């Protein structure tokens, strides 16, 4: 593998124009397909095998007019009532305009005598709007807002609620990118060296997001996928390039030619990048274990971006290094002397030595600190946020409050009860079912039943007494399903399914809770096997698994403390506490377990290399940490900056991802890498690299060090010394320094 990557990097650096042309062609094809197909992300959640999904399937078949996206247009007056003639006329005009919006199938009339939807005090009314779509486009919301302006002009507060507002994601990639530029400038000290990772990472991100668009044409892909893929793709794209450019610059400093330096960097750091990247891809695509198409799509969306980042890192990046040549350190920061790439970090070396001499103290203290930060995870409550968690000045938040005040807290969390009437289409049990549901203490209202045109099923809307996010709402749902409804249909052919968005979200949370532990165990087992293959050790992967669990647990704890308990929620623009989105823990675990491999492999491969050379366990840890501290710190700062930039978006779920990922990376790069790793490795000594002989014989060998390139360094260094000597003779002879091109021609003549 290493020899192949060496030749690949060498040839890409030697023929950069060809590589660039190939990638531009690939980019044109992928972007062109995305433009042509026009795939768009949309939130169309399905959870096969749960009761709410069964209810939704029947709803699609027998009540198609209620199966698509629906929302409310809410009207409110402070003075008088909405039933006053002038107000009624303005509201009906708005609704007439709304009915003309494309893809609208029905608009209810709040003044219909058969079922008026006006609050008891007469100040609030609403109309339910139905669409034939699974997801709205921003243009639908714009047209609905134009219709609402008619009532607003008449002095009526008019807000759009629920599904009337299309979900739009606005990222803060620019903020993370600016911080990445600053970090790379400080790390490399050169504008050219800084620009290479930024350019290749942006190119990879652009292709990855275009690939996501193509996927969205064929597969229902959640809106959040774009934001998640952006933050992961930008972070890993810059980090992967950082690792390779760092090794390339070190190779140049050691005297290699540009092509050989790029090849050697590809064979060493590039191989680590492929290993870490494939771990991320495998872990993320493992989300298929969740059994939910939406989560599977989110995993594959992120994987597409990571794959492009990997491929570009080992092909286009070496080509860019070939373009830069030996000028990669040109345009450097003034007065900055160290341009040697990784360098030997005195502070990091001293710190590792300090920790290694007091391993028990630091191991115990860091372990206790991580456990304490993880404690809030014991109170983890998974659920989906509702419109009350949107910005307070947003129209959907205002609509939510008006509906809750006018019609009760449970209005926004209604259940849809579907009754399958059996082969005989017997409607007799319907009244008994309604009466039984209405008698439950958690139910505020039960609407009259609607019978489908085929007569096969009945639809009953049920309003609980509590809001969508309340624990009592889930308890009511469980009670209806397990006790109330089974008793009501006992002895009949009717089969009842409780569905609707609130029920579907509850079922989805339960599904993820059931599969989270098996998923975690599968990812941990996979990472254990991969690290055991790479480092020929049992203890290294065991420690890595435990440390990763601790850092991820701490990240979960921070999320619970901020989003559920409300600690510091104002700092991230959060108005109220929310349950933890069920997607977040599982996807975070998959992403972080893969990302932690970057630092794990980069650090431990250096430690192992030093240990094999010296057989001194303590000193190998000191030297390994000293030589990798700068690049790991720089990579972590970039990743943290990219993730934190997304915390300031309006979407609560994206905030969770951003804060959780940033916290885990920060803990992983500081407490774990700088304290736990040196302390535990010092305690274990040579036992770090223990592997039973029988296991060593059957495991395939992987060499992340990439082979020995000292012969390239020696030969090129000798040539460089000769060239410098000849150049010095020219300068002494002619008393003037020639430019690079002229000197090269003169050296060829000599």
Per-residue pLDDT tens over the stretch 305-343:
999 999 999 999 999 999 888 888 776 665 555 444 443
> Looking at residues 21-35, what average pLDDT do you find?
93
* Predicted confidence (pLDDT) at residue 749 exceeds the cutoff of 80: no
* Predicted confidence (pLDDT) at residue 268 exceeds the cutoff of 50: yes
Q: Which pLDDT score is estimated for 736?
A: 44
CB-CB neighbours of 167 under 10 Å: 16
42-51, 168-177, 374-383: which range is least confident on average?
Answer: 168-177
Measure the CA–CA gap between 387 and 485, rounded to whole angstroms: 29
Measure the CA–CA gap between 618 and 614, rounded to whole angstroms: 10
Confidence at 366, pLDDT banded by 50, 70, 90: very high
177-191, 258-272, 479-493, 685-699: which range is least confident on average?
Answer: 177-191
Measure the CA–CA gap between 106 and 68, rounded to whole angstroms: 11
Measure the CA–CA gap between 206 and 31, rounded to whole angstroms: 8
Radius of gyration of the chain from Cα atoms?
Answer: 31
Check the CA dihedral 696-701-702-705 and report its sign: positive
Q: Which pLDDT score is estimated for 19?
A: 93
- SS3 labels along 625-636: HHHHHHHHHHHH
Q: Which pLDDT score is estimated for 710?
A: 56
Q: Which pLDDT score is estimated for 29?
A: 94
Q: Which pLDDT score is estimated for 304?
A: 93
Say which residue, 714 or 543, is predicted with more confidence: 543
> Looking at residues 275-288, what average pLDDT do you find?
82
Measure the CA–CA gap between 248 and 242, rounded to whole angstroms: 10
Q: Which pLDDT score is estimated for 455?
A: 87
Confidence at 133, pLDDT banded by 50, 70, 90: confident
Say which residue, 691 or 172, is predicted with more confidence: 691
Q: Which pLDDT score is estimated for 28?
A: 94
> Looking at residues 51-79, what average pLDDT do you find?
86
* C-alpha triplet 591, 593, 598: angle, nearest 5°: 95
* Predicted confidence (pLDDT) at residue 542 exceeds the cutoff of 50: yes
pLDDT, tens digit, 9 for 90 and up, residues 403-417: 999 988 888 888 999
* Predicted confidence (pLDDT) at residue 746 exceeds the cutoff of 50: no
61-65, 157-161, 385-389: which range is least confident on average?
Answer: 385-389
138-142, 285-289, 706-710: which range is least confident on average?
Answer: 706-710
For residue 557, the Cα-to-chain-centroid distance in whole angstroms is 18
391 burial type by CB count under 10 A (0-12 exposed, 13-18 middle, 19+ buried): exposed
Give whole-number Cα distances, 612 to 3, 530, 600, 607, 608, in Å.
Answer: 21, 20, 18, 9, 6
pLDDT, tens digit, 9 for 90 and up, residues 486-517: 999 988 888 999 988 888 888 888 888 888 88
Q: Quick one: which H or E segment has residue 464?
A: strand 457-464
Write phi, then psi, for 670 (nearest 5 degrees). Answer: -115, -75
* Predicted confidence (pLDDT) at residue 59 exceeds the cutoff of 60: yes
Q: Which pLDDT score is estimated for 558?
A: 94
Confidence at 742, pLDDT banded by 50, 70, 90: very low
Measure the CA–CA gap between 623 and 348, rounded to whole angstroms: 9
Mean per-residue pLDDT over the chain, rounded: 82
Most confident of 378-392, 478-492, 618-632: 478-492
> Looking at residues 636-664, what average pLDDT do you find?
86
Say which residue, 387 or 461, is predicted with more confidence: 461
Q: Which pLDDT score is estimated for 724?
A: 44
Give whole-number Cα distances, 25 to 18, 256, 301, 364, in Å.
Answer: 11, 31, 22, 54
User: Percent of the chain, pLDDT > 90?
Assistant: 24
Confidence at 531, pLDDT banded by 50, 70, 90: confident
Q: Which pLDDT score is estimated for 169?
A: 59
Say which residue, 166 or 518, is predicted with more confidence: 518
Confidence at 709, pLDDT banded by 50, 70, 90: low
Q: Which pLDDT score is estimated for 708?
A: 55
Measure the CA–CA gap between 368 and 380, rounded to whole angstroms: 20
CB-CB neighbours of 392 under 10 Å: 11
Confidence at 695, pLDDT banded by 50, 70, 90: confident
435 burial type by CB count under 10 A (0-12 exposed, 13-18 middle, 19+ buried): exposed
The structure's pTM equals 0.78
Size of the chain, expressed as the number of residues it contains:
750
User: What 8-state DSSP symbol labels residue 567?
Assistant: T
Q: Which pLDDT score is estimated for 342?
A: 42
Say which residue, 553 or 343, is predicted with more confidence: 553
152-166, 197-211, 233-247, 616-630: which range is least confident on average?
Answer: 616-630
740 burial type by CB count under 10 A (0-12 exposed, 13-18 middle, 19+ buried): exposed
> Looking at residues 181-192, what average pLDDT do you find?
80
pLDDT, tens digit, 9 for 90 and up, residues 86-102: 999 999 999 999 998 88
* Predicted confidence (pLDDT) at residue 562 exceeds the cutoff of 60: yes
> Looking at residues 661-668, what average pLDDT do you find?
90
* Predicted confidence (pLDDT) at residue 748 exceeds the cutoff of 80: no
* Predicted confidence (pLDDT) at residue 483 exceeds the cutoff of 90: yes
* Predicted confidence (pLDDT) at residue 727 exceeds the cutoff of 50: no
* Predicted confidence (pLDDT) at residue 646 exceeds the cutoff of 90: no
Confidence at 274, pLDDT banded by 50, 70, 90: confident
């Amino acid at each position: 593998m290493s020899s192949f990557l060496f030749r690949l990097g060498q040839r890409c650096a030697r023929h950069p124009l060809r590589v660039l042309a190939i990638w531009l062609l690939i980019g044109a094809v992928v972007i062109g397909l995305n433009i042509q197909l026009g795939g768009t992300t949309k939130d169309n959640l399905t959870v096969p095998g749960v009761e709410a999904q069964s209810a939704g399937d029947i709803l699609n078949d027998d009540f198609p007019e209620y199966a698509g996206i629906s929302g409310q247009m809410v009207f409110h007056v402070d003075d008088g009532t909405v039933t006053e003639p002038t107000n009624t006329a303005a509201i009906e005009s708005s609704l007439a305009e709304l009915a003309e919006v494309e893809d609208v199938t029905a608009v209810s009339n709040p003044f219909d005598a058969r079922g008026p939807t006006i609050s008891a005090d007469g100040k609030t009314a609403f109309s339910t709007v139905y669409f034939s779509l699974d997801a709205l486009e921003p243009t639908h919301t714009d047209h609905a807002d134009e219709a609402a302006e008619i009532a607003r002009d008449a002095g009526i507060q008019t807000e759009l609620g629920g599904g009337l507002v299309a979900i739009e994601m606005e990222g803060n990639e620019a903020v993370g990118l600016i911080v990445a530029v600053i970090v790379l400038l400080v790390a490399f000290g050169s504008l050219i060296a800084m620009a290479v990772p930024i350019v290749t990472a942006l190119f990879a991100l652009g292709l990855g997001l275009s690939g996501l668009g193509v996927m969205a044409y064929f597969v229902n892909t959640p809106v959040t996928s774009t934001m998640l893929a952006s933050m992961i793709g930008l972070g890993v794209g810059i980090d992967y390039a950082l690792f390779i450019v760092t090794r390339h610059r070190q190779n140049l400093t050691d005297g290699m030619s540009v092509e050989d330096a790029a090849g050697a960097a590809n064979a060493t750091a590039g191989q680590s990048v492929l290993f870490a990247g494939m771990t991320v891809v495998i872990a993320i695509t493992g989300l298929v274990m969740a059994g939910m198409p939406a989560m599977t799509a989110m995993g594959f969306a992120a994987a597409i971006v990571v794959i492009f980042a990997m491929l570009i890192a080992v092909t286009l990046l070496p080509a860019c290094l070939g373009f830069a040549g030996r000028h990669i350190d040109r345009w450097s920061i003034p007065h900055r002397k160290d341009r040697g790439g990784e360098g030997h970090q005195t502070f990091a070396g001293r710190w590792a030595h300090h920790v290694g001499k007091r391993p028990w103290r630091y191991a115990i203290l860091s372990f206790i600190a991580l456990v304490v930060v993880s404690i809030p995870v014991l109170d983890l409550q998974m659920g989906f946020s509702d419109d009350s968690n949107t910005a307070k000045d947003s129209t959907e938040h205002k609509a939510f409050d008006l509906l809750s005040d006018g019609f009760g807290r449970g209005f926004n969390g209604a259940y849809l009860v579907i009754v399958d009437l059996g082969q005989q289409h017997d409607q007799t049990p319907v009244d008994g079912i309604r009466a039984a549901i209405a008698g439950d203490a958690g139910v505020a209202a039960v609407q009259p039943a609607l019978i489908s045109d085929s007569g096969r099923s009945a639809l009953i809307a049920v309003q609980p007494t509590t809001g969508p996010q309340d624990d009592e709402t889930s308890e009511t749902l469980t009670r209806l399903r397990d006790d109330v409804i089974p008793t009501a249909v006992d002895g009949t052919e009717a089969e009842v399914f409780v569905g609707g968005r609130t029920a579907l979200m509850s079922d989805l949370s339960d599904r993820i809770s059931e599969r989270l532990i098996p998923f975690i165990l599968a990812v941990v087992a996979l990472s254990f096997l991969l690290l055991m293959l790479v480092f020929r050790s049992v203890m290294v992967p065991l420690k890595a698994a435990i440390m990763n669990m601790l850092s991820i647990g701490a990240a979960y704890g921070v999320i619970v403390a901020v989003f559920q308990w409300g600690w510091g929620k104002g700092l991230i623009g959060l108005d109220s506490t929310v349950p933890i989105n069920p997607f977040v823990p599982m996807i975070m675990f998959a992403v972080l377990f893969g990302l932690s491999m970057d630092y794990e492999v980069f650090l431990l491969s250096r430690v192992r290399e030093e240990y094999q050379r010296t057989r001194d366990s303590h000193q190998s840890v000191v030297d390994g940490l000293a030589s990798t501290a700068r690049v790991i710190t720089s990579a972590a700062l970039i990743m943290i900056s990219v993730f934190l930039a997304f915390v300031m978006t309006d979407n609560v779920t994206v905030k969770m991802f951003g804060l959780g990922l940033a916290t885990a990376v920060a803990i992983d790069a500081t407490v774990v890498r700088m304290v736990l790793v040196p302390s535990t490795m010092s305690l274990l000594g040579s036992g770090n690299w223990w592997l039973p002989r029988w296991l060593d014989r059957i495991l395939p060998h992987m060499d992340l060090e990439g082979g020995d390139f000292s012969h390239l360094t020696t030969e090129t260094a000798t040539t460089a010394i000769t060239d410098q000597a000849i150049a010095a003779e020219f300068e002494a002879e002619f008393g003037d320094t020639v430019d690079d091109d002229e000197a090269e021609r003169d050296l060829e003549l000599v």
